[in-house]
Amino acid sequence: MVTLAEVAQHAGVSASTVSYVLSGKRSISASTRKRVEHSIQQLGYHPNAGARALASSRSNIIALMVPLRTDMYVPVMMEIAMAVATSARTHGYDVLLLTGEEGPAAVRRIAGSSLADAMILMDVELHDERLPLLRESGRTAVLIGLPAETGGLTCVDLDFEATGALCVEHLAALGHREVAVIGEAAAVYERHTGFAERTVDGVRAKARETGMRILHRPCEGGYAATAGTLGRVFDERPGTTGFIVQNEAAVEPLLNLLQQQGRAVPEDVSVVAVCPEQVATQASVRLTSVAIPAQEMGRRAVEQVVAKLAGRGTDEVELLEPVLTVRASTGPAPA
């Protein structure tokens, strides 16, 4: 491996000069810069990451903690993760992938070893065990999701309360009075994952306002589970004419089942989904939906991290405004 010293020798300057050319932290004459850059090119020099980290106490790595539960809302998670990785690169950072498996201890390990300059946490629970450790560690961090107590934390998330409200508003405007919410898997609520609960809160609040009856049921997703949930919904509320679906894995099964039962979408039943655009447009019925802006969430999280690391800190909660796109799955309530 080529070292900085070799580059310096090749260019006929001192090591520190090469370092300053690389970092731009001091002024360097054009001629020297050119010479050094040329040597770097020619020798194929790459700064050694470890040495750099040691000397500067900056690793240029952002740790990303994604939930282990690979079976849950996977596409969204993946999209966020990829967006984080991609945006991070544009800011000169690499991303370390941590699965939830290691649990809260990962926070301690990463912070303690200075492996990463900052952390981005996904799948945040309302009372997340990682948060106390995070605060204590004093490391820069950004959450994708919203815990119960956000004091001193930077958070990025879709405004799920507004999302819920938006869905209700849309259905209410179309005249629907009885609406069922097909929620995430029960485990998601048990873990008190913020977004799921907040969506329902938003739905409930707006429903009260508009005089709509809401039936909320968790659903595991998949065909069989969705069939069960749907059956129970119609048993309990035969007059249901609208559905708000939060679990992506229940979207297609639901459409399929409704069709089989002879309930036409949107003539007999309207469906609004909360899901990525791709899911909405590729479903068997083009779905009216509120998009989950996974890419944007990942990007914003990285931007916040970078800003904080640069000292331009903002301990803020940034809620992205939900956008509802009307497609072919919603229509006026049947008379």
Partner DNA sequence: CAGCAGAATCGAAGCGCTTCGACTCCTCTC
Partner DNA sequence: GAGAGGAGTCGAAGCGCTTCGATTCTGCTG
What x/- string results for residues 37 through 76 when contact with DNA is judged by CB under 7 A? --------x-xx--xx-xxxx-------------------
27 contacts which partner out of its own copies, DNA, none, CB within 5 to 8 A by kind?
DNA
Q: Does 23 bind its own copies (CB under 8 A)?
A: no
Q: Does 19 bind DNA (CB under 7 A)?
A: yes
223 contacts which partner out of its own copies, DNA, none, CB within 5 to 8 A by kind?
its own copies
Nearer to DNA, 59 or 229 (CB): 59
3 contacts which partner out of its own copies, DNA, none, CB within 5 to 8 A by kind?
DNA
Site for its own copies in 275-294 (CB under 8 A): 278, 281-284
- Written in H, E and C, the secondary structure of 211-272 is CCEEEEECCCCCHHHHHHHHHHHHHHCCCCCEEEECCHHHHHHHHHHHHHCCCCCCCCCEEE
CA–CA–CA angle 273, 276, 280 (5° rounding): 55
CA–CA–CA angle 65, 67, 68 (5° rounding): 115
CB atoms < 10 A from the CB of 316, how many? 12
Q: Does 252 bind its own copies (CB under 8 A)?
A: yes
Interacting residue with its own copies among 200, 249, 275, 291 (CB under 8 A): 249
Region of 97 on the Ramachandran plot (φ > 0 left; ψ -120 to 50 alpha; else beta): beta
Give the C-alpha separation, 167 to 248, whole Å.
15
Q: Does 305 bind DNA (CB under 7 A)?
A: no
What x/- string results for residues 89 through 118 when contact with its own copies is judged by CB under 8 A? x----xxxxxx-xx-----xx-xxxxx---
Interacting residue with its own copies among 14, 23, 78, 315 (CB under 8 A): 78
115 contacts which partner out of DNA, its own copies, none, CB within 5 to 8 A by kind?
its own copies
- How many residues make contact with its own copies (CB under 8 A)? 60
Nearer to DNA, 53 or 317 (CB): 53
| Residue at 58: amino acid letter | R
Nearer to DNA, 17 or 247 (CB): 17
- How many residues make contact with DNA (CB under 7 A)? 31
Token pair 């508009």: residue: 210
Counting beta carbons within 10 angstroms of the beta carbon of residue 96, is it exposed (0 to 12), middle (13 to 18) or buried (19 or more)? middle
- CA 42 vs. chain centroid, Å, equals 42
| Residue at 48: amino acid letter | N
CA dist 291 to 160, 161, 244, 294, Å? 11, 14, 13, 9
CA dist 183 to 2, 165, 255, Å? 56, 15, 15
Site for its own copies in 202-221 (CB under 8 A): 221
In the complex, which residues of this chain contact DNA (CB under 7 A)?
Answer: 1, 3-5, 12-17, 19-20, 22-23, 25-29, 31-33, 45, 47-48, 51-52, 54-57
In the complex, which residues of this chain contact its own copies (CB under 8 A)?
A: 1, 44-54, 57, 59, 61, 64, 66, 68, 70-71, 74-75, 77-79, 81-82, 85-86, 89, 94-99, 101-102, 108-109, 111-115, 221-224, 249, 252-253, 256, 259-260, 278, 281-284
